[in-house]
Amino acid sequence: MLETKIISNSEVLYVVGGDDGDKSPGTNERGGLIKSWVNSMRACSPTRPKSFNSQSCWIKEHPSALNMFEDILHQSEGKQIVMFLDYDGTLSPIVDDPDRAFMSKKMRNTVRKLAKCFPTAIVSGRCREKVSSFVKLTELYYAGSHGMDIKGPEKGSKYIKENQSLLCQPATEFLPVINEVYEKLVEKTKSIQGAKVENNKFCASVHFRCVEEDKWSDLAHQVRSVLKNYPKLMLTQGRKVLEIRPIIKWDKGKALEFLLESLGYDNCTDVFPIYIGDDRTDEDAFKILRDKRQGLGILVSKYAKETNASYSLQEPDEVMDFLERLVESKQLRCGA
């Protein structure tokens, strides 16, 4: 039985409080609720760098994974690398229309080569079927809906036993309510130009990248008007997106742990997970790796952000360069 518990107060933006009223980290008065939401929406979606000194200090704490590549190789020496990759903003550029977030052919070829060298998983907030249709590689593990929908490779992977199937869906009971909330959100937000609601199976996403900033408060009001009637759901945030998710103890960090266990690497000292992501929801996975002092997290960002990741890359092109270098190093070791 899954424990129903808030994932992380640093990530959760809003939880229905039942008899005690609405609960939102950082505010105790209902009047300040929407304002706190909008402030969080701005904080999660920086559009300009901080001061030079702040940015410089941040880079020292989270150096480029490309510049530190030899150091990373040294850390992983003698260990099995396992790759975990977010999709949007990591393998594909962030775009205005989430339905057109296509990865390049060159990136797909890089990920294909990567999966031949290391067990590789895509961990995304997207519906698993949708992110799989974007990536178009059957040899990967896919964890959609922020890790609430996990499926193993269909074919072509040497890291899964023959006839072994892998499927994990810890939030199945929430499917009807997520569909219901999705329909209501579509209706409530249709008057707000640029807003787009996406059904990601075990969560619903409200994209506001194309919404004028002076309308964010209106959008927050509409989202709250729906969510306040669903005490088993919560609101979290990402890059120009609000996420409505079940209140269960499951996230991208739990998905990482589940996949490592499924691969036979739980409680192993000779495994080196590398997780690359750009979103606030990836912090759960970064934190798992940091707390265990196992492997490392790499944040994809041009701007300084609070993060549990050890290293940084600025954009998907740098991610591709890093992955290519990993493949080349593996091939050199194997004499390929």
Q: List, by residue number, the catalytic residues.
A: 86
- List, as one string, the DSSP characters of 265-328: -TT-SSEEEEEEE-SGGGHHHHHHHHHHT-SEEEEE-SS----S-SEEESSHHHHHHHHHHHHH
Name residue 125's beta-bridge partners: none
Paired tokens of 224:
């709250």
Query: Do 200 and 144 contact (CB within 8 A), yes or no?
Result: yes
Question: Environment class of residue 296 by beta-carbon count within 10 Å: exposed (0-12), middle (13-18) or buried (19+)?
Answer: buried
- DSSP conformation letters of 170-193: TTGGGHHHHHHHHHHHHHHHTTST
β-pair partners for 299: 277, 312
In the numeric block, which tokens belong to residue 239? Answer: 């890059």
Cα 28 from chain centroid (whole Å): 29
Contact (CB, 8 A) for 174 and 230: no
8 A C-beta contact, residue 250 and residue 123: no
For 171-207, letters b (16+ CB in 10 Å) and e give: beebeeebeebbebbbebbeebeebbbbbbbbbbbbb
Q: Tell me the CA end-to-end span of the chain in Å, nearest whole number.
A: 47
Say if residues 182 and 197 touch (Cβ distance below 8 Å): yes
User: Which residues neighbour 64 within 8 Å (Cβ) at sequence distance 6 or greater?
Assistant: 311, 312, 313, 314, 318
Between CA 43 and CA 286 the distance in angstroms is 19
CA distance 216 to 208: 8
